[in-house]
Amino acid sequence: MATWHGYILLQRPPLFSAAEWHTALAALASALDASPDDPQPANRLHARLNLAGTAAILEAAFDEGAISPDAVAAAVSAALGVKYTVDQVKTAVSANLTLWRQGQPWSESHADAAAYLAANRAAWEKLP
């Protein structure tokens, strides 16, 4: 199993209701947490939701097979049941999934995630 330690941005696809989005996030958290018992806490899954709850940033040492569009779509589709086809979910998720510097060192992925958060600060932080 090849792993990549980095950051992923997931945005709620317009296809999903708020309840479906939360179901999808819970399913992905389970599917993407490749190292829940890792003795190194940095390798475990960490998640952050934006203030509106419509986007999530995930950081972990991901199994690269689990973060492919096909694998993500399969996990979400299974969680949502028969309402959508796997192809519908794959199209919706792929258009709203950002893998910051997949395959590159953690520091490069982190820099991109930090730049995104800085550019979108009002959506992610309560400002004074």
Helix %, strand %, coil % of the chain (to 5): 50, 20, 30
pLDDT digits (tens, 9 = 90+) for 70-94: 888 899 999 998 788 889 999 998 8
CATH number at residue 116: 3.30.70
Count of the separate structural domains present in the chain: 1
Assess contact for 48 and 57: CB atoms under 8 A: yes
Full domain range(s) for residue 28: 3-124
pLDDT, residue 35, reads 78
Q: Residue 62 pLDDT more than 80?
A: yes
